[in-house]
Amino acid sequence: MRKTDKVVELIIFAGQSNMAGRGTAALAPKITKERAWEFRAVSDPTKLYPLTEQFGYLENNPAGIWEPGMKTGSMVTSFVEMYLTDSEKTVVALSTSKGGSSITEWQPGSAYYRDLLERIHKAKSWLTQAGYQVERVTFLWLQGETDGDLKRSADEYQGLATTFFQSLLEKDVDEIFVLEIGNQRDEPDLYLPIRQAQRNLGALERVTFVPTSLASMRENGHMIDLFHYDQYAYNLLGKEVAQALLAFNQETKRIKGLIS
């Protein structure tokens, strides 16, 4: 193992069903890189597993994040495969998503929040004890459709998300990336307040808003029901998010004077 392989980025994939993935695993890209792993904080927190779809399928905690059989194919392998193309990083992926969850259910002290923190702490502890150096803890957040269905206002969603994010940023994660949700298939304006709130959240310190093409998937025929997407859409989403993070990393290096 190269020395650089012991330096890892822990990436947390959090949110609701479109992060969990309702696609088709067989149509997701296979990981060709050797530096992509899943840490299974619930089902087997004793080692790293090669990253595959169905990502997070076994990570069900009856006292917290619980959706057995629901994770059928996500954006995760597409993201990691693209992310590692131009990176010497080793990535450890952590599943923390729950379909149908509202932003109110992720507030500090809630069951999902406690489970999220426990998974993060288990991953950090195991990696440290195994001799890895965690270079960055990156939190990818794709959530909001349920709050759109509830007609939550942009201001209320933004306030609740801010509380959630600021709590995480105190000591548990280093950077948060808010991935733009799409539209409800039959009521395409229903999620506009949530999408506006997501853009506004990008103004917070250490929070970055990531535009996506999910909003165009309705017109392009890649929605499988009112809320979810086919694997084509998830694969494209993964690539878009990876490209956004690679650009973020390059800009961060430039600001620090590491590159010209």
Number of domains in the chain: 1
Percent of the chain with pLDDT over 70: 97
Q: Report pLDDT for 36.
A: 97
> Is residue 96 scored above 80 in pLDDT?
yes
pLDDT tens for each residue of 134-188 = 999 999 999 999 999 999 999 999 999 999 999 999 999 999 999 999 999 999 9
Residue 1 has pLDDT above 90, yes or no: no
Average pLDDT along the chain: 96
Does 171 fall in a domain? yes
Q: What is the pLDDT of residue 258?
A: 73
pLDDT at 4: 60
Average pLDDT over residues 197-212: 98
> Quick check: 260 pLDDT over 60?
no
Residue 154 counted as domain residue: yes
Q: Report in angstroms the alpha-carbon separations of 47 from 43, 125, 127, 179.
A: 11, 12, 9, 29
**Using one digit for the tens of pLDDT, what is the confidence trace for 4-51?**
669 999 999 999 999 999 999 999 999 998 899 999 999 999 999 999
pTM: 0.96
Torsion of CA 21, 179, 42, 38, to 10 degrees: 80
Torsion over CA: 122, 124, 125, 126 (sign): positive
Q: Does residue 97 belong to any structural domain of this protein?
A: yes
Position 33 in a domain? yes
Q: Does residue 260 belong to any structural domain of this protein?
A: no
* Domain assignment of residue 170, yes or no: yes
Residue 12: its pLDDT value, please? 98
Range of the domain at 245: 3-255
Say whether pLDDT at 220 is over 60.
Answer: yes
pLDDT band (50, 70, 90) for residue 191? very high
CATH code, domain carrying 55: 3.40.50.1110
Q: What is the pLDDT of residues 118-127, one digit of tens each?
A: 999 999 999 9
Answer yes or no: is pLDDT of 110 > 90: yes
Q: What confidence score (pLDDT) does residue 200 get?
A: 98
Query: What's the pLDDT at 256?
Result: 86
Structural domain includes residue 45 = yes
Judged against a pLDDT cut of 60, whether residue 2 lies above it is answered with no
| Assigned domain for 91 exists | yes
Distances (CA, A) of 127 to 80, 113, 120: 19, 21, 11
What per-residue confidence (pLDDT) applies to 257? Answer: 81
